[in-house]
Structure 1
Amino acid sequence: MKTAIFAHRGSKSNRPENTLSAFEEAMHVGSDGIELDVHLTKDQEVVVMHDEKVNRTTNAKGQIKSFTVNDLKELDAGSWFSPQFRGERVPTLKEVLDLLSDFPGVLNVEFKTDHNVYPGIEEKVVRLIDLYRSNLPVVYSSFNHESLIRMKHIDPSADVALLLWERLADPWRYTEQVGASAQHLWEASALTETSAQLQEHGIKVRAWTVNKPKNMQRTFEMGIDAMITDYPEVALDLRKSFEEAKALRR
């Protein structure tokens, strides 16, 4: 089994994160999956950004939930990263799904509901996914596991994954209780015996955020199901070398 490579917030190392440019690059390098984050605006539109505030990745300040989608579209979401990306806009989830309509890999949608309450965000996201990605793979993740439980009530067939920093005792029990198929574990937790315990119970492990080549190599050696990384092109090259070396040893 090959360890899948998920591009974290798009190709975050060389493009402004969670923008159309970042997602285009993630597709271009051949990522197996793309991870993104969703919030709700003041006028109840689903938009893609990591932080609850626009401060870090735009030229404005304030909570996303205080802006309408038209307000957000006036912001520059690229200059903070590089002058080359001046004028990059905050994308709506609809725009991203349109861009990724032919992307055959896994789309990982993270609900950023662990700090702000966004009533109804799960239903809105499911509606958009049904319109744009009904026959393509999607996994929903969140640190707020209530969001994942709501997802399973909305769509019992939804593929959900627990986002976790820490390792749990008997980690498969809680995962099964929530109805999740995977744990998205912080790198330091994933690179332990916990990953094998989960996999023995049929639960996938995706490690985040794996950026050091030596740790990428360890995920391959351990047979971890996927890594989420800011450097998908580096991980893909290393995986190719790892697979070639493994084939020679057979």
Structure 2
Amino acid sequence: MTLIYGHRGARGEAPENTLISFQHCLKQGVNRCELDLHLSLDGELMVIHDPTLRRTTGRRGKISEHLADDLTTYDARLGLTHWPEQSPIPRLAELFEHCDFEHWQLEVKSASKKRALHTVLAIQNLVQQFNLVDRVTLTSSSRTVLKAAQQQAPRLSRGFVAEYSWLEPVKVAQRYGCEFLVLNWKLCTPARLKRAHQAGLHVSVWTVNEPEQMRQLAHMGVDSLITDYPSKAVLALGFTA
């Protein structure tokens, strides 16, 4: 059975990476999600994809230049302007409190060694606080982040996010002790999928939004797919997550 992950909650159906988006995802019967994290100025884990505020809030500056209390007042529905309710940037802790997902993919973008370490440790502490160690996988395309997680938070499941094939994705995932290989769907060939499964990796493909593509990848044998449209995926695959 191919599992379904809501991308940034339900990016195509509600304002991405907001509490309402993740709640909407759950309402579709999809109980797994993927999200993105950046540290605020005061070191809190904020759920937002870009390092800057402009695209989703229209504001200036980097996430790292704003306090968490201020960030949670910024309306992040700019990319989905028809949405009727204000949708602020959430803390990760808020999602953990209000959304009962079976599994979370927490993606950390590229970072300096210092920032990667601080982010990894912040995730580890929050995951332990909410007793979610068995329900979280920290993912990243950054080998700096994966190395920090491998060394400083070994109990956290790890996943390598692969967008390009010039780094052999399966080998990189193995090098950093990953359990997940999070593949750009265009890289998901039967041969690569077979190698990943032989290496014991869960293969999760992104971002899959067309029903026929969903069915083809499920037939190929991917373990999970990440989609902007969880409601569409449920219909396409004929079952809930």
User: Shared fold by TM > 0.5?
Assistant: yes
The letter for the 2-side match of 1:134 is: L
The letter for the 2-side match of 1:161 is: G
Aligned position for 2:47: 48
Alignment pair present for 1:180 and 2:204: no
Aligned position for 1:229: 227
Where does structure 1 differ by over 6 angstroms across 4 or more consecutive aligned residues? Answer: none
Aligned position for 1:211: 209
Aligned position for 1:99: 98
Q: Which moved more, 1:190-199 or 1:178-187?
A: 190-199
Aligned-pair distance for 1:45? 1.3
Secondary structure of 2:186's counterpart equals helix
Aligned length: 238
Secondary structure of 1:184's counterpart equals strand
Alignment pair present for 1:113 and 2:90: no
Contact 1:5 1:235 in 2 (8 A): yes
Alignment pair present for 1:26 and 2:25: yes
Aligned position for 1:152: 150
Distance (Å, rounded) in 2 between the aligned partners of 1:186 and 1:117:
28
Contact 1:16 1:85 in 2 (8 A): no
**Are residues 60 and 169 of structure 1, via their aligned partners in 2, closer, same or farther at CA, if it must alter by over 3 Å?**
closer
Deviations 1:141-168 (A, max 9, x none): 0111221221122232321110011236
Picking from 191, 194, 197, the partner of 1:196 is: 194
Unaligned runs of 5+ in 1: 242-250
Q: Which moved more, 1:76-85 or 1:47-56?
A: 76-85
Aligned-pair distance for 1:137? 1.1
The TM-score normalised by the length of structure 1 is: 0.88
The letter for the 2-side match of 1:124 is: A
Distance (Å, rounded) in 2 between the aligned partners of 1:32 and 1:71:
29
Secondary structure of 1:193's counterpart equals helix
The TM-score normalised by the length of structure 2 is: 0.91
Aligned-pair distance for 1:122? 0.7
Secondary structure of 1:52's counterpart equals coil
Contact 1:16 1:78 in 2 (8 A): yes
The letter for the 1-side match of 2:147 is: I
Aligned position for 1:78: 77
